[in-house]
Chain A
């Protein structure tokens, strides 16, 4: 919770506490109730944004989502949300994409043909290899709990979404496609599957994304959601 100072007419200063506002973009894709509950558990004041105006009015935005990239992007465009999200990103509003929501932040995806994304994070979304690095067949989707480790270019998680996360904490992943950052500096954390390093958490300025589901990752995931409210 944010602590604010308020001066009354007598010139006396006292602390007030107000709840952190956060809006979840409701575009008909994904399990928004769990995301909502996760943030409420962390003390946030959660709104569902189901119009362009509600998105534009948000203090913080969360873009959830599961399913196919094209369906998600089509829905954002059809509802007129993509322009509003881009405008908010530009104006510095903290944005967190979760799972498909993270992938939609990227430039484009190759799931069911080439599809353009929001382009907030340069890079592409490609299928996870069906063969592990040592040549064994790899089950797809990648489903399960995996730990995170820092990217090559981002050695520390201090003052980021991951400041309360350790490399032994595990998060719940379920995905068949994976994002590849053009600029490795945007890759805040990776997780391993079949010997490959897959993008797990991204950050470019005020735009964040995580491939896993923090709202389904127990206590560790809740700490991440809490950090999104507290550090942004």
Chain B
């Protein structure tokens, strides 16, 4: 769930934000549908160096009893502490740790690997390599996504949230090649994000890569698919998903 101010928004390739509504109304609906986990990302926080997510998180946990990962604009140990204290279970970091990888070690030492998710926004560049973007896709880094994923895992992140910027919000299916490359190269769980159009896209990315989880935004936000649609597709293809009634 991408957040801007008080609103849930959706972008295409991290651009052209469209306002969808109240984030916690969507979140509660997903919880009732049996979602496994929720991710809140403040997509403009990094740019403006602010963090407005704490109050959203503390309201969300009143009625939502599944893990919450929260990211966007996290720059320091204090920022992490504030979000965890508000009720987040994990924080997702991108820009700040690209600028200072030691922040990964600091967060891990203080709060543990299990609470740190490395968010990687990867875009295919003209040399045919996946490059890491920061500032919600606004800045190029020259950093190779695979190298960065391996380094992040070595520094101790507990999970990697891998977003294909080329596919994000496009409904063209996952970037299976990117996801396969990274999920097969790191020893920590990887979450695939960006491009799901149909439940079959979910099945394909699970079957064809070593990815451990799938993040879905567009298809759920616009109600093209329900959580149950994904669950049923998974079951019919022998993919183990959480039993939910």
Contact = CB atoms under 8 A, between A and B. Distances in A.
B224 interface: no
A173 to B, nearest CB: 10
A67 B112 contact: yes
A230 interface: no
Contacts of A174: 67, 89, 114, 158
B66 A172 contact: yes
B187 A137 contact: yes
A31 B66 CA distance: 13
Interface stretch (B79-87, B171-179, B192-200): B79-87
Given A66-B114, A176-B114, A141 B158 contact: yes
Given A144-B212, A170-B242, A218-B34, A33 B189 contact: no
A33 B113 CA distance: 20
Interface string A68-83: 1001000000000000
Contacts of A137: 187
Contact of A141 (B85, B86, B114): B114
Interface stretch (A89-97, A116-124, A197-205, A209-217): A209-217
A216 B187 contact: no
Given A33-B58, A67-B115, A222-B65, A139 B212 contact: yes
Nearest to A99: B114
Nearest to A169: B243
Contacts of A175: 114
B62 interface: yes
A141 B113 contact: yes
Nearest to A219: B65
B88 interface: yes
B44 interface: no
Contacts of A147: 243
A37 B62 CA distance: 6
Contacts of B188: 139-141
Q: How large is the interface on B (under 10, 10 to 19, 20 to 34, 35 or more residues)?
A: 20 to 34
Given A66-B111, A143-B158, A143-B189, A37 B61 contact: yes
A139 B65 contact: no
Contacts of B58: 33
Contacts, number: 94
A175 B86 CA distance: 22
A68 B108 CA distance: 9
A8 interface: no
A196 interface: no
B213 interface: yes
Contacts of A176: 113-114
Interface string B69-94: 00000000000000011111100000
Nearest to A221: B65
Contact of A139 (B67, B109, B189): B189
A215 B65 contact: yes
26 contacts: A31-B89, A37-B61, A38-B65, A67-B110, A68-B109, A71-B110, A139-B187, A139-B189, A141-B114, A141-B158, A143-B189, A144-B213, A145-B36, A168-B243, A170-B242, A170-B243, A172-B37, A174-B114, A176-B113, A216-B67, A216-B89, A218-B66, A218-B244, A219-B65, A221-B65, A222-B65
Interface of A: 30-31, 33-34, 37-38, 41, 66-68, 71, 100, 130, 137, 139-141, 143-145, 147, 168-170, 172, 174-176, 213, 215-219, 221-222
